[in-house]
Chains A and B, each alone.
Chain A
Amino acid sequence: MNDSLKKLRAIYPADRFLEADAQLAAYASDALTAFHSLPRAVVLPETSEEVIDTVRFCHDQQVAFVARGSGTSLSGGSLPVSDGIVIGLNRLNKILELDSKNRIALVQPGVINLHVSEAAQPYGLHYAPDPSSQQVCTIGGNVAFNSGGAHCLKYGMTANHVLGIQAVLATGEVVTFGGRSRESLGPDTTGLFCGSEGLFGVALEITLRLIPQAGCYHTVLAGYRSLQDAGNAVAQIIASGLLPGAMEIMDALAIEAAEAAVACGYPPGAEAVLIVELEGPHEVIECERETLHTVLASTAAFQTKTAANATERMTIWKGRKSAFSAVGRISPDFIVQDGVVPRLRLGEALQQIGEMADVAKIRVANVFHAGDGNLHPLILYDGREPGALTRAEELAGRILEMCVAMGGSITGEHGVGLEKRDYLGTMFSQHTIDTMQRVRAAFDPRKIANPGKMFPGSDPADSQQATSGLRGLHPLEKAGIISRE
Chain B
Amino acid sequence: MAPTSLTELQEAIRSHPQVLAVGARTKPRLSQVDDCTLLSMRGLSGITEYQPSEYTFTALAGTPLHELEQVLTEQGQAMPFDPLLSRAGSTLGGATATGLSGPGRFRYGGIRDFLLGLTYIDGTGQPIRTGSRVVKNAAGFDLPKLMVGSLGRFGVLAELTFKVFPAFRARISLQVECTDCHQATERLIEAACSRWELLALDYDPAQKRLLLQLGGPQRALEQIAADIENRWPGDVQPIESCTADTCWETIRTLGLDLTESEQAPTRPTRASQTVVAQVALTPTVVPELEQKLGSMEGVNSHYSVGGNVATLICQQPDNIPPISKLLAELQLVGLVLQGCDAPLWLGTTQPTAIDRAIKTALDPQCRFPSYDIANLQADHVAHH
Contact = CB atoms under 8 A, between A and B. Distances in A.
Interface residues of B, number: 84
A419 to B, nearest CB: 12
Contacts of B150: 186-187
Contacts of B193: 100-101, 103, 123-125, 212
B78 to A, nearest CB: 11
Interface stretch (A29-37, A38-46, A314-322, A434-442): A434-442
B197 A153 contact: no
A441 B360 CA distance: 11
Contacts of B166: 241-243
A281 interface: yes
Identify which of B140, B151, B350 gathers the most chain A CB atoms within 10 Å of its CB: B140
Interface in A417-447: 420, 424, 427-429, 431-433, 435-436, 438-443
Contacts of A340: 132, 134-137
A182 B306 contact: yes
Contacts of A431: 126-128
B246 interface: no
A102 B283 CA distance: 6
A412 interface: yes
B381 interface: no
Contacts of B366: none
A415 B138 contact: yes
B55 A153 contact: yes
Contacts of A159: 142, 145
B160 interface: no
Interface string B301-324: 000011011000000000000000
A394 to B, nearest CB: 20
A424 B136 contact: no
A441 to B, nearest CB: 7
A421 B139 CA distance: 9
Contact of B281 (A181, A416, A432, A436): A181
A176 B350 contact: yes
A82 interface: no
Contacts of B333: 185-186
Given A287-B220, A454-B140, A409 B197 contact: no
B105 A183 contact: yes
A372 B135 contact: yes
Contact of A212 (B129, B138, B194): B194
B216 A287 contact: yes
Contact of B219 (A287, A372, A413): A287
Nearest to A148: B136
B140 A182 contact: no
Contacts of A428: 129-130, 139-140
Interface string A171-205: 00101100111111111111110111000000000
Contact of A410 (B54, B139, B220): B139
A87 to B, nearest CB: 20
A387 interface: no
Contact of B145 (A123, A188, A442): A188
Contacts of B219: 283, 287
Interface string A153-171: 1111101100000000100
Interface stretch (A3-11, A297-305, A341-349, A352-360): A341-349
B3 interface: no
Interface in B177-212: 189, 192-197
A470 interface: no
B365 to A, nearest CB: 12
A343 B145 contact: no
A362 interface: no
A185 B149 contact: yes
A39 B138 CA distance: 27
Nearest to B194: A212
Interface string B140-180: 11110111111101100000000001110100000000000
A333 interface: no
Contacts of A196: 141-142
A152 interface: yes
Contacts of A179: 280
B308 A181 contact: yes
A440 B221 CA distance: 48
B5 interface: no
A443 B134 contact: no
Contacts of B137: 340, 409, 411-412
Given A175-B354, A369-B136, A427-B132, A442 B360 contact: yes
Interface stretch (B20-28, B86-94, B107-115, B290-298): B107-115
B243 interface: no
A280 B197 contact: yes
B51 to A, nearest CB: 7
Contact of B278 (A169, A180, A185, A215): A185
A225 to B, nearest CB: 23
Nearest to B364: A438
Given A124-B193, A429-B129, 19 more contacts: A101-B189, A102-B283, A123-B193, A148-B136, A154-B108, A179-B280, A181-B309, A182-B105, A192-B143, A283-B219, A284-B216, A287-B217, A340-B135, A344-B54, A409-B132, A413-B136, A429-B127, A431-B127, A436-B130
Interface of B: 51, 53-55, 76, 99-101, 105, 108-110, 112-113, 122, 126-130, 132-143, 145-151, 153-154, 165-167, 169, 189, 192-197, 216-217, 219-221, 223-224, 278, 280-284, 305-306, 308-309, 333-335, 350, 352-355, 357-358, 360-362, 364, 371
The 4 tightest CB contacts between A and B, nearest first, are: A191-B145, A442-B357, A287-B217, A283-B220
8 contacts: A101-B189, A103-B193, A152-B136, A185-B280, A187-B147, A287-B220, A429-B127, A438-B364
